[in-house]
Amino acid sequence: MADSQTPASVPDFSAVMTGDKAFQLAGRAARYTVLYFYPKDNTPGCTTESIAFRELHDQFLDAGTEIYGISRDSLRSHEGFKSKLGLPFELISDPQELVCLQFGVMKMKNMYGKQVRGVERSTFVIDAEGRLVKEWRGVKVPDHADEVLEFVKSQPQQ
Protein backbone atom coordinates (compact mmCIF):
# COMPACT_ATOMS: atom_id res chain seq x y z
CA MET A 1 0.00 0.00 0.00
CA ALA A 2 1.27 3.42 -0.88
CA ASP A 3 1.39 5.64 2.16
CA SER A 4 0.02 9.14 1.98
CA GLN A 5 3.51 10.70 2.22
CA THR A 6 5.05 9.01 -0.81
CA PRO A 7 2.43 7.61 -3.18
CA ALA A 8 3.76 5.03 -5.63
CA SER A 9 3.55 5.71 -9.35
CA VAL A 10 1.36 3.33 -11.32
CA PRO A 11 2.90 2.27 -14.64
CA ASP A 12 0.85 3.51 -17.56
CA PHE A 13 -1.34 0.97 -19.30
CA SER A 14 -3.97 0.83 -21.98
CA ALA A 15 -6.84 -1.60 -22.41
CA VAL A 16 -10.05 -2.00 -24.37
CA MET A 17 -13.32 -1.01 -22.77
CA THR A 18 -17.01 -0.74 -23.48
CA GLY A 19 -18.39 1.87 -25.83
CA ASP A 20 -15.76 1.08 -28.49
CA LYS A 21 -13.24 3.07 -26.46
CA ALA A 22 -9.67 2.51 -25.34
CA PHE A 23 -8.63 3.25 -21.77
CA GLN A 24 -5.26 4.93 -21.21
CA LEU A 25 -4.18 5.67 -17.65
CA ALA A 26 -1.70 8.41 -18.54
CA GLY A 27 -3.14 11.82 -19.25
CA ARG A 28 -6.50 11.30 -17.54
CA ALA A 29 -8.12 14.68 -16.96
CA ALA A 30 -9.92 13.58 -13.79
CA ARG A 31 -8.61 14.52 -10.38
CA TYR A 32 -8.89 10.84 -9.43
CA THR A 33 -9.48 7.58 -11.25
CA VAL A 34 -11.15 4.69 -9.42
CA LEU A 35 -10.39 1.22 -10.79
CA TYR A 36 -12.51 -1.47 -9.20
CA PHE A 37 -11.56 -5.05 -10.03
CA TYR A 38 -14.31 -7.63 -9.74
CA PRO A 39 -14.46 -11.38 -10.46
CA LYS A 40 -17.26 -11.81 -13.02
CA ASP A 41 -20.12 -10.05 -14.80
CA ASN A 42 -23.66 -11.02 -13.81
CA THR A 43 -22.78 -12.60 -10.47
CA PRO A 44 -24.53 -11.44 -7.27
CA GLY A 45 -21.63 -9.66 -5.54
CA CYS A 46 -20.34 -8.04 -8.72
CA THR A 47 -23.83 -6.86 -9.65
CA THR A 48 -24.36 -5.37 -6.18
CA GLU A 49 -20.96 -3.63 -6.25
CA SER A 50 -21.51 -2.20 -9.74
CA ILE A 51 -24.97 -0.92 -8.78
CA ALA A 52 -23.48 0.77 -5.69
CA PHE A 53 -20.92 2.61 -7.85
CA ARG A 54 -23.70 3.45 -10.34
CA GLU A 55 -25.88 4.98 -7.61
CA LEU A 56 -23.00 7.21 -6.44
CA HIS A 57 -21.69 8.04 -9.92
CA ASP A 58 -22.84 11.68 -9.95
CA GLN A 59 -21.26 12.27 -6.53
CA PHE A 60 -17.98 10.78 -7.79
CA LEU A 61 -18.11 13.11 -10.80
CA ASP A 62 -18.75 16.06 -8.47
CA ALA A 63 -15.58 15.00 -6.62
CA GLY A 64 -13.60 15.05 -9.89
CA THR A 65 -13.42 11.26 -10.02
CA GLU A 66 -13.96 8.81 -12.87
CA ILE A 67 -14.93 5.18 -12.20
CA TYR A 68 -13.96 2.11 -14.24
CA GLY A 69 -14.81 -1.50 -13.52
CA ILE A 70 -12.33 -4.20 -14.60
CA SER A 71 -12.69 -7.95 -14.95
CA ARG A 72 -11.46 -10.75 -17.19
CA ASP A 73 -14.81 -10.88 -19.00
CA SER A 74 -15.04 -10.24 -22.74
CA LEU A 75 -16.16 -6.92 -24.18
CA ARG A 76 -19.38 -8.60 -25.32
CA SER A 77 -20.10 -9.74 -21.76
CA HIS A 78 -19.23 -6.28 -20.44
CA GLU A 79 -21.52 -4.54 -22.93
CA GLY A 80 -24.43 -6.74 -21.84
CA PHE A 81 -23.67 -6.27 -18.13
CA LYS A 82 -23.33 -2.49 -18.54
CA SER A 83 -26.59 -2.27 -20.50
CA LYS A 84 -28.52 -4.55 -18.13
CA LEU A 85 -27.51 -2.48 -15.07
CA GLY A 86 -27.59 0.93 -16.79
CA LEU A 87 -24.01 1.67 -15.75
CA PRO A 88 -22.99 5.25 -16.59
CA PHE A 89 -19.26 4.37 -16.61
CA GLU A 90 -17.17 2.10 -18.81
CA LEU A 91 -15.98 -1.43 -18.07
CA ILE A 92 -12.45 -2.53 -18.99
CA SER A 93 -11.97 -5.99 -20.47
CA ASP A 94 -8.80 -7.81 -19.36
CA PRO A 95 -9.10 -11.42 -20.66
CA GLN A 96 -5.31 -11.87 -20.78
CA GLU A 97 -5.09 -10.65 -17.15
CA LEU A 98 -2.42 -8.06 -18.00
CA VAL A 99 -3.97 -5.28 -15.90
CA CYS A 100 -5.01 -7.77 -13.19
CA LEU A 101 -1.40 -8.95 -12.91
CA GLN A 102 -0.07 -5.37 -12.89
CA PHE A 103 -2.24 -4.65 -9.85
CA GLY A 104 -1.64 -8.04 -8.22
CA VAL A 105 -5.30 -9.02 -7.94
CA MET A 106 -5.05 -12.61 -9.23
CA LYS A 107 -5.34 -14.95 -6.24
CA MET A 108 -6.07 -18.55 -5.38
CA LYS A 109 -9.54 -18.73 -3.82
CA ASN A 110 -11.72 -21.46 -2.37
CA MET A 111 -14.91 -22.04 -4.32
CA TYR A 112 -17.18 -24.86 -3.26
CA GLY A 113 -14.24 -26.60 -1.58
CA LYS A 114 -11.93 -26.36 -4.60
CA GLN A 115 -8.96 -24.07 -5.16
CA VAL A 116 -9.54 -21.79 -8.16
CA ARG A 117 -7.54 -18.87 -9.52
CA GLY A 118 -9.56 -15.69 -9.75
CA VAL A 119 -9.75 -11.95 -9.27
CA GLU A 120 -9.61 -10.73 -5.69
CA ARG A 121 -12.18 -7.94 -5.40
CA SER A 122 -10.00 -4.83 -5.07
CA THR A 123 -10.25 -1.08 -5.63
CA PHE A 124 -7.52 1.45 -6.40
CA VAL A 125 -7.60 5.25 -6.42
CA ILE A 126 -5.06 6.91 -8.69
CA ASP A 127 -4.48 10.66 -8.80
CA ALA A 128 -4.10 12.84 -11.91
CA GLU A 129 -0.30 12.39 -11.81
CA GLY A 130 -0.66 8.61 -11.99
CA ARG A 131 0.14 7.95 -8.34
CA LEU A 132 -1.62 5.29 -6.30
CA VAL A 133 -3.13 7.12 -3.34
CA LYS A 134 -5.36 4.42 -1.84
CA GLU A 135 -6.11 0.74 -2.29
CA TRP A 136 -8.58 -1.73 -0.84
CA ARG A 137 -7.96 -5.48 -1.22
CA GLY A 138 -10.25 -8.36 -0.36
CA VAL A 139 -13.18 -5.95 -0.57
CA LYS A 140 -16.50 -6.76 1.06
CA VAL A 141 -19.25 -5.23 -1.07
CA PRO A 142 -21.59 -3.65 1.54
CA ASP A 143 -20.76 0.06 1.96
CA HIS A 144 -17.56 -0.20 -0.09
CA ALA A 145 -18.54 2.32 -2.80
CA ASP A 146 -19.55 4.76 -0.03
CA GLU A 147 -16.14 4.33 1.60
CA VAL A 148 -14.33 5.01 -1.69
CA LEU A 149 -16.47 8.12 -2.26
CA GLU A 150 -15.76 9.42 1.25
CA PHE A 151 -12.05 8.92 0.66
CA VAL A 152 -11.95 10.95 -2.59
CA LYS A 153 -14.15 13.65 -1.09
CA SER A 154 -11.80 13.92 1.92
CA GLN A 155 -8.74 14.60 -0.20
CA PRO A 156 -7.41 18.15 -0.44
CA GLN A 157 -8.14 19.98 -3.69
CA GLN A 158 -5.14 19.89 -6.02
Active site residues: 46
96-104 long-range contacts, CB within 8 A, separation 24+: 97/72, 98/13, 98/15, 99/13, 99/15, 99/70, 100/37, 100/70, 100/72, 102/11, 102/13, 103/35, 103/37
The terminus-to-terminus CA distance of the chain in angstroms comes to 21
Residue 51 amino acid letter: I
DSSP symbol at 152: H
Contact 53, 62 (CB under 8 A): no
Sequence-distant (≥ 6) Cβ neighbours of residue 124 within 8 angstroms: 10, 34, 35, 36, 37, 103, 132, 134, 135, 136
